[in-house]
């Protein structure tokens, strides 16, 4: 194992994109053990591309990228990063139980010819407990609500016992009650010292969990600091009072905050706060 003070992620002037199109340009960022970073930014700001670059899903186009101290190009220990993708539906084409989906997380921890053992079963049990879905492990995942499916995906990532959880919009499209449960799950993980990098539109749902906020716009990082400073300088945008999240123009009615966040893209242009 590496020394504990080696950053989990260390980027210096890093660029990511697809083919030769640069989406993220010249980003420097470092995440230490135990940090929970919210990565904010409007659509198209490059936050998802950045995260996908770390996961090997978008192209690394320049700069230095170290994962657990190893350069990205030589990094082979992928299971150390647990990825929770943004997905709205799980396996609608065939039946699959909650447990079967979570067991997928263990596959990269053993060679292809070895069947699952007791260590795998224990890790899956623990992951299901961590998201509060152990009692529903034998159900068809497609029968669960959107928020519960998101927790299944978190459990799948946890089953590999990763050193870092990378989540893409974990609360998007999830109703308020389920957002609270998700936030509780993430708080419990954070309390256990789990490091997380969370791409999100909805800081309000997660503001008790995050220890640091990084904002991106136009492929660059334009804010990196504590939630307290962020609140002071960006008050009234993402960090609401917990009742109304955004000033979306289309009536506050019965809409779910998650859907409004996707449709309304509540983050204002960052330039406003410069100068």
Q: Judged by CB, which is closer to other proteins: 10, or 148? A: 148
Q: Applying CB under 8 A, which of residues 3, 73, 74, 138 lies at the interface with other proteins?
A: 138
Angstrom CA distances, 3 to 7, 215, 255, stand at 9, 28, 47
Six-digit token pair at 134? 């152990």
Span interacting with other proteins, options 12-20, 21-29, 144-152, 207-215, rule CB under 8 A: 144-152
Q: CB of 95: closest distance to other proteins in angstroms?
A: 5
Q: Judged by CB, which is closer to other proteins: 48, or 200? A: 48
The reply on whether position 156 binds other proteins by CB under 8 A is yes
Span interacting with other proteins, options 11-19, 90-98, 211-219, 221-229, rule CB under 8 A: 90-98
Q: Applying CB under 8 A, which of residues 10, 31, 45, 178 lies at the interface with other proteins?
A: 178
E strand or H helix at 191, and its extent? helix 176-191
The reply on whether position 125 binds other proteins by CB under 8 A is no
The reply on whether position 22 binds other proteins by CB under 8 A is no
The reply on whether position 119 binds other proteins by CB under 8 A is no
The reply on whether position 49 binds other proteins by CB under 8 A is no
The reply on whether position 112 binds other proteins by CB under 8 A is yes
Nearest to 102 by CA among 93, 90, 89: 90
The reply on whether position 104 binds other proteins by CB under 8 A is yes
Q: Applying CB under 8 A, which of residues 61, 72, 90, 167 lies at the interface with other proteins?
A: 90
E strand or H helix at 222, and its extent? strand 220-225
The reply on whether position 229 binds other proteins by CB under 8 A is no
Three-state DSSP class for 202? coil
Q: Applying CB under 8 A, which of residues 25, 26, 68, 100 lies at the interface with other proteins?
A: 100
Span interacting with other proteins, options 36-44, 174-182, 193-201, 224-232, rule CB under 8 A: 174-182
Residue partners of 201: CB distance under 8 A and separation at least 6? 40, 169, 172, 238, 261, 262, 265, 266, 267
The reply on whether position 259 binds other proteins by CB under 8 A is no
Q: Applying CB under 8 A, which of residues 28, 33, 144, 248 lies at the interface with other proteins?
A: 144
Q: Judged by CB, which is closer to other proteins: 133, or 215? A: 133
Q: Which residues bind other proteins (CB under 8 A)?
A: 55-57, 76-79, 81, 83, 85, 87, 90-91, 93-97, 99-101, 103-105, 107-108, 112-113, 116, 129, 132-136, 138-140, 143-145, 148, 153, 156, 160, 177-178, 181, 184
């Amino acid at each position: 194992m590496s020394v504990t003070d080696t950053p989990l992620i260390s980027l210096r002037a890093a660029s990511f994109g697809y083919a030769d199109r640069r989406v993220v340009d010249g980003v420097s960022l470092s995440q230490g053990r135990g940090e929970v970073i919210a990565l904010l930014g409007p659509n198209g700001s490059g936050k998802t591309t950045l995260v996908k670059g770390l996961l090997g899903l978008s192209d690394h186009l320049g700069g230095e990228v170290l994962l657990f101290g190893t350069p990205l190009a030589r990094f082979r220990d992928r299971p150390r990063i647990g990825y929770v993708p943004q997905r709205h539906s799980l396996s609608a084409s065939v039946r699959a139980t909650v447990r079967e989906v979570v067991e997928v997380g263990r596959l990269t921890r053993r060679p292809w010819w070895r069947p699952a053992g007791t260590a795998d079963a224990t890790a899956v049990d623990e992951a299901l407990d961590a998201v509060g879905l152990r009692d529903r492990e034998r159900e068809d995942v497609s029968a669960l609500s959107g928020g519960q499916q998101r927790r299944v995906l978190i459990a799948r990532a946890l089953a590999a016992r990763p050193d870092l959880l990378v989540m893409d919009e974990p609360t998007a499209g999830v109703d308020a009650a389920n957002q609270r449960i998700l936030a509780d799950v993430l708080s419990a993980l954070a309390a256990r010292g789990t490091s997380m990098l969370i791409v999100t539109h909805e800081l309000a749902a997660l503001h008790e969990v995050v220890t640091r906020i990084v904002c991106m716009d136009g492929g660059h990082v334009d804010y990196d600091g504590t939630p307290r400073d962020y609140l002071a300088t960006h008050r009234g945008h993402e960090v609401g009072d917990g009742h109304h999240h955004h000033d979306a123009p289309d009536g506050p009615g019965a809409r779910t905050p998650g859907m409004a966040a996707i449709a309304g893209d509540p983050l204002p242009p960052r330039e406003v706060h410069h100068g």
